[in-house]
Every structure is written in structure tokens, then in C-alpha cells.
Amino acid sequence: MISGGGTGGHIYPAIAIANAWKERFPGSEFLFVGAEGKMEMQKVPEAGYPITGLKVAGLQRSLSLSNLSFPFKLMSSLSKAKSLVKSFQPDVAIGVGGYASGPVLFAAQNAGIPTLLQEQNSYAGLTNKLLSKRAKKICVAYPGMGQFFPSERIIYTGNPVRKDIMELEGKRELAIAHFGLDSNKLTLLVLGGSLGARTINRAVLAEMKAFEAAGYQLLWQCGKFYFLEMSKSVLESGLKHVHVREFIKEMDLAYAVADVVVSRAGALSVSELSLVGKPVIFIPSPNVAEDHQTKNAVAYVSQHAAVLLKDAEAIGNLKNAVDDIVNDDARAEELATNIKKLAKPDAAKAIVDTIATLIS
């Protein structure tokens, strides 16, 4: 049983774990548990796995009427999670973070089922910190996580990513054709996450004419909340080399064609970009718990493996940051080389190894 979600940063590692387990133990049965109305309810079935949803939702940090329903949703989710655990009878329950993982792993732990946590970020989430007290193993993506979890149960695995991202060789021409790009132009890949990143979109919007005038082409995932606005602006601008997408499903092709990447610093993005080995500019979101995206980015910047551009400084400075990399071949090479040194390509295998020991 695998539980969690809410964002791609939780969902895709969960799917990668399931895929790696299925490859080794093809006769296994899976049940994913997510939060109703969240993106896992679409993405997990698309990956070929069954999923059921809980009514659970987060507690808002600001005063909100939605907080009044929180206790009722939590009790309902705990009750349903208990029933799911009892009916599915999993050999192991895995939590990847997100609202649904709390009730499910709590129910599994109460039923005496071994549980494993997968923490993607350099700063642990509250749910995982609470669940870690009874979890058998905690797989982490960064060293030094003993400040959050019992050290004797931590396994430093890295974050699992989709297998196709590790196989980029020979895909550039395919990507050029797929996205309708110009093979003679330098490609800037801009990623703001599946929902979109307001600041990154505004920064690109402010300088997209300058990017095109300088000879760049943009492959821009703006997110579903911003797609209509951004695509309209590009159309009205008359620019020919700014390719805006709501969501890029073929991330292996996007990474293969990229010369420089601009991205938020969510755990999944950081892990994928480590494997890709391209120069990266991280613009961390300041609107996340404990500012964990900045902590993720700083861990890489300290190793000269990425560039950090603060969210508050991105608009008006993005093109300069890109130019600084493009116009300095030695720096571009240093960034690409150093970020690849931080990659953990066998993360999914290591997590599967750990799960297998729990079951046996």
C-alpha cells in the first residue's frame, strides 16, 4: 500500500517506487491511497495503478473557515484508512508525504504492519516527523536528516525518479521534432511545477522578447493555473520561439533538448535535474513549509552545482542569470558536472531493497 500525494513531488517518486518493485516482483498487488480532488487521483491511474481517495485535507496556517471541517475530514479519513488496511491487508505500507499518508500509515502502524517513509526534502515534513516514531525505516534524499528522524532507522537512498529520465542519450532530435523547436537555437527549459509558479511566469513574461532577440528559444511549462493567460500573451506578442505548455508529460525529451534549465527547487525537480546534468538556475518558492525549497537549493549551490535566484529578485534578473551561464563555457561545464555528482541513480532500487527486508 502506497500513500501520499498532492503534488508531483510526492506522486512521481511513489510511482517510481511501485515501478521498481513491480519490475523485481511482477506478481505483486498494489493499492495507492490519495486525497480526493488532488492530482494523484488522475496521475496514478494513468501510470496503471489502482487508487482510492480519502476526504482528508490540510489544516490552513491562516484563519480560514475551511479549518472548521478539518476534524471531521480527519476522523472520516482515519476510519476509511483503517477499513482499507483491514481489507487490503498489505505486507508493507509506504508513505511518501502529503495529506493522505498520515491516516493510512497511522492505521497500518496500529495494525502491526511494517511501514516505510520516503522523505524527499532536506527539511522533513510534519506528517513524516510524526509517523517516524513508529516507522521501521525512513528513506531520505539528503544527508544529515538525523535532526528529524531516529538515526538508526535512516537509509540515505536519494529520491526515486522515472526511469526514462535516466535515458536521454540520442533523444535531442526526437525532442526537437516533438516540441517543434529550431535545432540551431539554444534552448531554455522553464519549469514551474505542474500547477505553475507565478513569479517564474512573470519573470519569463517580462523578458521573453529579450530572450528571443538574443537568439534563445523557450520551452516553457507554465502550469494549469496560468496557461490561458501566458499562451494569450505569447500569441499577442508575435514571438515565434517561445513555446508555452500547460504541462510537459514527456520530461525526458524536455531535459534532452535543454541547454539551460530554470526551475523551482522542489525535491523531485532537484533529484531529476541531478541525473540530467545540465546547468540549472533554481528559483525556490518561498510559499512552502519551512522554506524547504530554499534549503534544497542551497544544498546544491554550496557544492557549486546550481545557481540560486531568489523569488523576490527573479523578475527583471532572469535573463542576466541565464546570460551569465551561456556566456561562460567553463562555468556552464562546472555546474553540469557538479550537479551530476550529486545524483543518486539507484534510489528506487535502494528503496525496493529496503522494503524487501521489511517484508522478509
Q: Specify binding-site residues.
A: 7-9, 121, 162, 194, 248, 267-272, 293
Spatial contact of 40 and 11, defined as CB atoms under 8 Å apart: yes
The set of cell numbers assigned to 227 is 496557461
CB atoms within 10 A of CB 50: 11
List, as residue ranges, the binding site for UDP-N-acetyl-alpha-D-glucosamine: 7-9, 121, 162, 194, 248, 267-272, 293
Question: Residues of 169-190 as b/e, b for ≥16 C-beta within 10 angstroms?
Answer: eebbeebbeebebeeeeebbbb
Provide the phi-psi class of 223: left if phi over 0, else alpha when psi is between -120 and 50, else beta: left
Rounded CA-CA distance 56/61 in Å is 16
Secondary structure (3-state) at 170: coil
Instruction: Give the number of residues written for the chain.
Output: 360
Query: What is the spatial distance between Cα 224 and Cα 247, in angstroms, rounded to a whole number?
Result: 7
Nearest alpha-carbon partner for 18 in 84, 99, 93: 93
**170 and 253 in contact (C-beta within 8 Å)?**
no
Q: State the residue for C-alpha cell 527547487.
A: 265
C-alpha cell at 233: 500573451
Q: How many Cα atoms are found within 13 Å in the side-chain-facing hemisphere of 127?
A: 28
* Separation CA 50–CA 46 (nearest Å): 9
| Whole-Å CA distances, 308 to 143, 194, 195 | 20, 21, 21
Three cell numbers, residue 206? 517580462
